[in-house]
Amino acid sequence: MADNCYAGQTRSFSRALSYILLLTLMSWDTDLAGIRTGSLLVSAAKKRVYTNDFLVTIKSAEPSSNHDHADWLAARHGFENRGMVVGDEGLYHFRHRTLDSASESPSLRYIWNLRLSPKVQKVRQLEGYGRLKRGHNKVKVGAYQGLDPLYPYQWYINNTAQAGGKPGLDLNVQAAWNMGYTGKGVTVAIMDDGLDYLHPDLRDNYSPEASYDFSSNDPYPYPRYTFNWFNSHGTRCAGEVSSVADNGICGVGVAYDSKIAGIRMLDQPFMTDVIEAASMSFKPNLIDIYSASWGPTDDGKTVDGPRQLTLRAIVNGVNKGRNGLGSIYVWASGDGGADDDCNCDGYAASMWTISVNSAINDGETALYDESCSSTLASTFSNGRGQRAGSGVATTDLYGQCTLRHSGTSAAAPEAAGVFALALDANKNLTWRDVQHLTVLTSTPNLLHDDLHRWQSNGVGLMFNHLFGFGVLNAQKMVKMAKTWTTVPPRFRCEAGVVEQMFDIPSDGVLELTIDTDACDGGNNHVRYLEHVQAFLTIASSRRGDLTINMTSPFGTDSILLNRRPNDDDSSQGFRKWPFMTTHTWGEDPRGTWKLRVALNGEFPQTGRLLRWGLLLHGTQQAPYIDEILDGHNSKLAVSKKLEFAEGILHDLEDSGSQHP
Ligand SMILES: [Ca+2]
Ligand SMILES: [Ca+2]
Ligand SMILES: [Ca+2]
């Protein structure tokens, strides 16, 4: 295409020429919103609002090629081509991906960028104005009004202590809505037992094209009827994400303008690798976020994960989904309680899923909550006890509403909703960006556990074995998402392996170490950690009595495996099982890693470690160097301080100075 060569030309334009061009451009578009022809004056008489929407007129010899050109042009300049307008092959609606949805002055830079294409005849940035719903006076456009009957019960959205909870212990969603982020243009799929897409509080947001029924192999994921409403799970999860706002029905979704899709895949006698794989790779360019509130049996004695096809589907999803930005998989950490460990659940423990634990409305964990070091963050499930209104209020089967949704099942869709808000703020976020944002903006808030206290890792990030990096904070996340620069490329370093048989003492601890340079000097050097995996092969006379801890060179201790009293396996053990920790996020992995394996049971047992492989994942460049500091005490400030120090150290090294 001839247009492809103008990139080089643009770079060589002198500043003077650019200025002339800008003036020409401005006088050319007499209807350029808010600018009087030939002058930079913006009308002062009445305040104008400029949106991030642009009308672009394309004229070319072959009108049929206009659409391709529009796509190309949009992608090149950070816009989303939202398609042809009013059936005119020359007229396209572009929305800028990062520009504010409301600004006081027009965005000349973007207009100019588009106008540089010879095929573009006219560019108009659309003004915003109000339209009031008749019968509703003094409505602030876009603001949620609280007209849904269950809204007062949705303490996870706005905790005012209504169900005996702690005020302020919520997802801080409303502040994100007030900034204009409601999940617009984002599609969330609920992989579950179906979705009541006729529900009056869901049908307007339902996306039939992103939905499918893999249990019955048809395009209609409607839940199968049972007398006890067993198949209400998916519908309840969907309502948390995408219930319509202010329609007087049930409650409001965390991302109430998002599209919701149903992937029915849990309602058949047996799960198969094909059904899981097909579900997780369904419409990867249409679905942004997949929410899963299921996994291997939470009986505290299962060690299981995705099989071959499903694993391939997940890897494909994060690498190719969302047109290369990566599908976002959100996972409930599990309902197995203190006797289970979500690191034995290969879906939750995967680096490619964001696994979410839940807290209850007083900041503690529920009895069914499962903990593990791979959990990234937390949202909310039900409140303490049987108190009325303390459950999660959401939609239910057959047009009904419920106040009783619960479990970590309830937690994953809430996270999916918050991530939909983040994608609304910035459509260019990759799957890793979403994880970084989660780490940086989640907060301990009022979350507390007597046994597992909050700790600070080697770069000052607060983490907790139960809650990960804390409870999601929608406002903080959209704010940071808006100006976020995609993190640098990710590398994978095989840091070391111990391949020798060691007995695990029945009355002591087996301690092993790996010294690593984290592939320093190689192409795959990892300097700033994301996920760390320990692939362990261990045989034991009672698998459930094993406990495993791993300590980073900074001294950050991750509990890779807690005791599981119900797991009496004596034959399978762990075979190259990928235990994962997120707790060392941001740390420099060079140095000595320690592994401690012990047997803690009622009776003496025997065990042997046969292999420990340490795998590091992360970046070579500092991931947050381009971000704007948002307050001195923020987590970003803490981890940046280290990056800056590193930068100075690096400069010193480069200049040949010695330092201790
Ligand atoms: Ca069906
Ligand atoms: Ca509603
Ligand atoms: Ca489990």
pLDDT tens per residue across span 121-141: 989 888 877 654 443 333 334
What is the rounded distance in angstroms from the CA atom of residue 630 to the CA atom of residue 479? 9
Q: What's the average model confidence in pLDDT over 583-599? A: 97
Q: Which residues are catalytic?
A: 192, 233, 409
What three-state secondary structure class fits 490?
strand
Question: In which residue are the tokens 């692939």 written?
Answer: 535
Question: Which of 44-58, 85-99, 128-142, 292-306 has maximum average pLDDT?
Answer: 292-306
Q: How far apart are CA 409 and CA 462, in angstroms?
A: 25
Residue 265 CA: distances (Å) to CA of 270, 280, 306, 322, 517: 10, 10, 15, 22, 44
Rounded to two decimals, the pTM is 0.78
H or E element that contains 87: none
For 13-28, the pLDDT digits (tens) are: 334 333 333 333 333 3
Going by the DSSP 8-state scheme, the letter that residue 443 receives in this structure is B
Q: What is the mean pLDDT of residues 317-345?
A: 96
Residue 36 in this model has a pLDDT that exceeds 50: no
3-state helix, strand, coil in the chain (%, to 5): 25, 25, 50
CA 597 to centroid of ligand 1, rounded, Å: 48
Instruction: Please state, as a whole number, how many other Cβ atoms lie within 10 Å of the Cβ of residue 60.
Output: 16
The pLDDT of residue 62 is 86
330/642: higher pLDDT: 330
Q: How far is CA 292 from the centre of its chain?
A: 13
> Residue 628: what pLDDT?
58
Is the pLDDT at 656 greater than 70? The verdict is no
Q: Which of 16, 417, 8, 1 is nearest to 245 (CA)?
A: 417
Separation CA 334–CA 294 (nearest Å):
7
DSSP 8-state assignment for residue 153: G
For residue 332, report the distance from its CA to the centre of ligand 3, in Å: 9
pLDDT value for 40: 29
Return the structure tokens found at 62.
């072959």
* Gap between the Cα atoms of 226 and 231, Å rounded: 7
Give the up-direction half-sphere exposure of residue 580: CA atoms within 13 A in the CB hemisphere: 25
The percentage of residues in the chain with a pLDDT greater than 70, rounded to a whole number, is 86
Among residues 240, 244, 237, the alpha carbon closest in space to that of 254 is found at 240
pLDDT score recorded for residue 130:
64
Residue 76 near residue 3, CB atoms below 8 Å: no
Range among 119-133, 201-215, 224-238, 400-414 rated most confident: 201-215
- Looking at the CA of 201, name the nearest ligand: 2
Q: How confident is the model at residue 494 (pLDDT cuts 50, 70, 90)?
A: very high
C-alpha closest to that of 378 among 344, 423, 342, 345: 342
Q: Of the given ranges (19-33, 208-222, 248-262), which has the lowest mean pLDDT?
A: 19-33
- Indicate whether 657 pLDDT > 60: no
Ligand nearest the Cα atom of residue 407: 3
Ligand 1 geometric centre to CA of 217 (Å): 7
Residue 30: its pLDDT value, please?
Answer: 29
- Per-residue pLDDT tens for 498-511? 999 999 999 899 99
CA–CA separation, 532 and 585 (whole Å): 8
- Rounded distance, CA 181 to CA 474, Å? 10
For residues 363-388, average pLDDT: 86
Question: Could you say which DSSP state residue 28 is in?
Answer: H
The tokens describing 452, both together, are: 């597992």
Rg of the chain over all Cα atoms, to the nearest angstrom: 27
CB 124 within 8 A of CB 54: yes
| Residue 390 vs residue 241, higher pLDDT | 241
Ligand nearest, relative to CA of residue 154: 2
Residues 6 or more apart in contact with residue 451 via CB below 8 angstroms = none
Using the 8-state DSSP alphabet, how is residue 392 labeled?
E
**Ranked by mean pLDDT, which of 123-132, 563-572, 617-626 comes out on top?**
563-572
Calculate mean pLDDT across residues 349-354.
Answer: 98
- Among 284, 268, 289, 252, CA closest to 216: 268
- Please tell me the predicted confidence (pLDDT) of residue 138: 36
Cα–Cα distance for residue pair 237/409, rounded to 1 Å: 7
CA distances (Å), 199 to each of 207, 412, 413, in order? Answer: 13, 21, 18
- What are the pLDDT digits (tens) for 381-427? 887 766 667 789 999 999 999 988 888 789 999 999 999 999 999 99
pLDDT at 375: 98
What is the reported pLDDT for 385?
Answer: 65
Per the listing, tokens 């980073």 go with: 552
pLDDT tens per residue across span 517-548: 999 999 999 999 999 999 999 999 999 999 99
What pLDDT does residue 483 have?
94
- Higher per-residue confidence, 383 vs 358: 358
Mean pLDDT of the chain: 87
**What is the sign of the dihedral through the CA atoms of 153, 159, 165 and 171?**
positive
Give the DSSP H or E segment for 44: none
Residue 163: predicted pLDDT: 86
Most confident of 64-68, 140-144, 543-547: 543-547
Kindly state the DSSP code that residue 35 receives in the 8-state scheme: B
At residue 646, the pLDDT reads: 66
Residues in the chain: 660
652 CA to centre of ligand 3 in angstroms: 48
The pLDDT, as a whole number, for residue 607 is 97
pLDDT at position 24 is: 33
Average pLDDT over residues 254-280: 95
pLDDT of residue 179: 96
Q: Which ligand sits nearest to residue 256's alpha carbon?
A: 2
Give dist(CA 590, CA 532) in Å, integer.
Answer: 13
Sign of the CA dihedral with 374 first, then 380, 385, and 391 last = negative
Binned at pLDDT 50, 70 and 90, residue 332 comes out as: very high
Cβ–Cβ < 8 Å for 291, 241: yes
Q: Are 427 and 183 in contact (CB under 8 A)?
A: no
Residue in the structure block whose two tokens are 């919103």: 33
Q: Do 588 and 555 contact (CB within 8 A), yes or no?
A: no
3-class DSSP string for 188-245:
EEEEECCCCCCCCCCHHHECHHHCEECCCCECCCCCCCCCCCHHHHHHHHHHHHHCCC
Q: How far is the CA of 283 from the centre of ligand 1 (A)?
A: 17
- The rounded Å distance from CA 570 to ligand 3 centre is 19
